[in-house]
């Protein structure tokens, strides 16, 4: 996400760069066109939602260091236990890594490609390659240790 200040009213707007390249970005308050050349990238504090369509761009082509991809489903009890851990890790990332979530029910192509047979499964990618896999609900220190091992 980028943060763009409106030149007309001064309101700060969050803009998705992919959407901005396809559409004209407008201020949410006054409707004026936004000048994206003054954009500042904001630090991600929430897990990025990944789909089959965005997987290549958001995970494999990511330049944000390692990517921790949480493969989950809304009906999965252990997945709901891991969810808050993913939120915490995303808030603590400080651009060292990226946390993303993939709903396996809604995105079967990516789930099949990486042979997700049990959820939650957390995949760690670095430079477009799968470098680690954690299966099952894990405590935060275990997930963080595996992720941080790939930030160096």
Catalytic annotation, residues: 76, 79
3-state helix, strand, coil in the chain (%, to 5): 30, 25, 45
Helix (H) or strand (E) holding 2: strand 2-5
Instruction: Quote the CA–CA distance of 100 and 57 in Å, as a whole number.
Output: 12
Instruction: Quote the CA–CA distance of 19 and 83 in Å, as a whole number.
Output: 26
Nearest to 67 by CA among 146, 136, 137: 146
Nearest to 122 by CA among 70, 58, 56: 70
């Amino acid at each position: 996400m980028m943060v763009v200040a409106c030149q007309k009213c001064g309101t700060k707007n969050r803009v998705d760069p992919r959407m901005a390249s396809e559409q004209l970005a407008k201020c949410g308050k006054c409707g004026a066109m936004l000048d994206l050349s003054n954009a500042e990238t904001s630090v991600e504090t929430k897990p990025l939602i990944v789909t089959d369509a965005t997987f290549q761009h958001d995970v494999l082509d990511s330049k944000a260091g390692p990517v921790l991809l949480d493969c989950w489903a809304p009906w999965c009890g252990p997945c709901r236990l891991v969810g808050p851990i993913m939120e915490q890790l995303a808030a603590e990332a400080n651009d060292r890594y990226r946390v993303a979530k993939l709903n396996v029910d809604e995105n079967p192509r990516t789930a099949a490609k990486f042979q997700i047979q049990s959820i939650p499964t957390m995949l760690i990618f670095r430079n477009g390659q799968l470098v680690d896999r954690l299966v099952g609900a894990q405590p935060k220190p275990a997930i963080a240790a595996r992720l941080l091992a790939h930030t160096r």
